[in-house]
Structure formats: structure tokens, C-alpha cells
Chain A
Amino acid sequence: MAFNFDTHMDYEGQHFAEKLSHIIVVVFGVIGWVIGYINQQFSQTILVLGVGVLIAAIVTLPPWPMYRRKSLNWRKPRKEVTVDTTKTEQKEVVTTASKQKKKNK
């Protein structure tokens, strides 16, 4: 990914960001429709909608602090466990490789 900074939001933050972006876009869409209808120019509707999208992008795309308040408390990894998993993984790799050889014969 081209972005080096952390873009993580917690689960509730993700839900809130999606909801908020929908509300902003729909509200600007409705306002734009009314403006376009009054001035009889559909291009104005699209412009207002575009402004709404820009605002929604600024408000909901970056991981602002308000989306990161309820982060999950993960258990810290134990050293022994990590060593064990690497060993078992290596074993599995060996066994599957031998099975493949048998199949080929």
C-alpha cells in the first residue's frame, strides 16, 4: 500500500464513519436537487452533490481520533507460542512436500 501512515479505525468507528458519509451525501444530494429544480439546472445538482462528497471524504476517510475511541484490547503475544507455531509450520511444509513427491511417482 502506498500509504505509510496508519489508517486503522476501530469497529464502531468504521460503522459510524460509513453512516456519517451516507448521511452527508444524501443530505447534499437532496439540497442539490432542490437547488437544481428551482434554477432548472441539473448541473447545479451535480455540483452540490460533488461538494457533499468532498466534505464526506474529508470527514470520514482519514482515521480521525473520534473513530478510534473504542479500540479492542488484544492480548499481548507470548514468546513460547510464537516459537511453537513456526516449528509446526515447518513440519507441515515437509510432510506436504513428501506427499507431493509420492503423488508424482
Chain B
Amino acid sequence: MHTFLTRGNALLTFTLSVLAGLTFFCFLSTALNAYSATANIDTVKVLVKNVPDYSAQKEKQDLGYLMFDLQADLNPLFNWNAKQLFIFLVAEYETTDNKLNQVVLWDKIIQRGENANLDMKNMNTNYYFWDDGNGLRGNPNVTLTLSWNVVPNAGTLSIIRGSGSHSFSFPNEYTNVRAQ
């Protein structure tokens, strides 16, 4: 503390410690936040095809195709410790081979300040709905749910599943690949 520069150094290091403390209290103020919300999901059109996935193997596999509606108000999830949301639509179903299959069909990043009141109609999926065999045709119970990561300034990266789901069944016949 005897020269100008040592005083400046002490001031800056102390400020950084204080800033770390403030950030920690910011995390504490949102640590108990549940970040829950409701999503209304509906399917518009559901098809199943039987085509080879050349990226995996040459044998034919079931490929689901669907269009969906999504309505969810995610504005309440944002606070001063939430920078962005990563929301993703997951399909879950059971086959004879696997008790639980989970496939991410669609995702979206919503940054703070953007419109988080979602009202989407006739959305296509972002990713292919591949089954690892022939478990989709005639599957009676496929459940769609919406989940999200809350990306914080400081703290844990939480994964929350929204309440509200939609179950549907795939048709018993394959759709011709060319006919769409």
C-alpha cells in the first residue's frame, strides 16, 4: 500500500473478490427456482416409413415423420441469472427390444429478451425420427414432451421437463417413400 501501483493492485484484486461474492449471492437468489412451465403439444400429421439409414447400416429401419403444434409461455422462466433457454422436444416410446427409447426431434435456443411466448403451428422436426429397428410401425403409445436447459450466469445447468405431454400412435401401414 506504499505506492500508487500497489494500492491500485490491491483495489482491483479486492474488487474481483467482491464481484465473485455478488455472483455467488446472485446464484443463491435463484437456486430454489423450480423453472417449471406447461407446454401444449399436438401432432398434426403422423407417418412412418421403412427406409435404409445409410449412416448406420444398409438394412431398412423405421423412420417416423410428424408435424406438430407447440404452444408454451416460457417468459416466466427468465430471471437475472438466466441467460438463455435451450428447449427440445423429446419422443419417448417402448419397443420389444428396448424398454425406453428417447429421440430428440426438435430444438430451439431462446435468448433473454427474445419472444419466449411460443405459439407454433405445423412445425417440422429438426432431426430424423429413426428407430433402431422396426419399432415404430403401429406403435400405440409415443409420448412427446418438451424439456429445457436453463443457462445461468452462475450456478448449475439445470434440465427441466415441462408439464404437459402428447401421446399418439403410429399408423399400421408404411407410407410409400415417394408418395410422402
Question: What is A's interface to B at a CB cutoff of 8 Å?
Answer: 1, 3, 7-9, 14-15, 17-18, 21-22, 25-26, 29, 32-33, 36-37, 39-42, 45-46, 49, 53, 56-57, 60-63
Question: What is B's interface to A at a CB cutoff of 8 Å?
Answer: 1-5, 7-8, 10-12, 14-15, 18-19, 21-23, 25-26, 29, 79-81, 153
Q: How far is the CB of B114 from chain A (nearest CB, A)?
A: 16
A14 to B4, CA, bound (A): 11
Decide if B8 touches A57 in the complex (CB within 8 Å): yes
A26, A32, A56, A62: the one contacting B4 at CB < 8 Å is A62
**Closest chain A residue to B2 by CB distance?**
A14
**Closest chain B residue to A13 by CB distance?**
B1
A62 to B4, CA, bound (A): 7
Decide if B3 touches A56 in the complex (CB within 8 Å): no
Q: Using Cβ atoms and an 8 Å threshold, which residues of chain B touch A7?
A: 3-4
Decide if B18 touches A49 in the complex (CB within 8 Å): yes
**Closest chain A residue to B25 by CB distance?**
A33
Which of B2, B8, B11 gathers most chain A CB within 10 Å? B11
Q: Using Cβ atoms and an 8 Å threshold, which residues of chain A touch B4?
A: 3, 7, 61-63
A45 to B15, CA, bound (A): 13
Q: Using Cβ atoms and an 8 Å threshold, which residues of chain A touch B15?
A: 25, 49, 53
Q: How far is the CB of B170 from chain A (nearest CB, A)?
A: 44
Identify the 9 closest CB pairs spanning chains A and B, nearest first. A14-B1, A7-B4, A40-B80, A29-B18, A42-B80, A53-B15, A61-B7, A33-B22, A21-B11
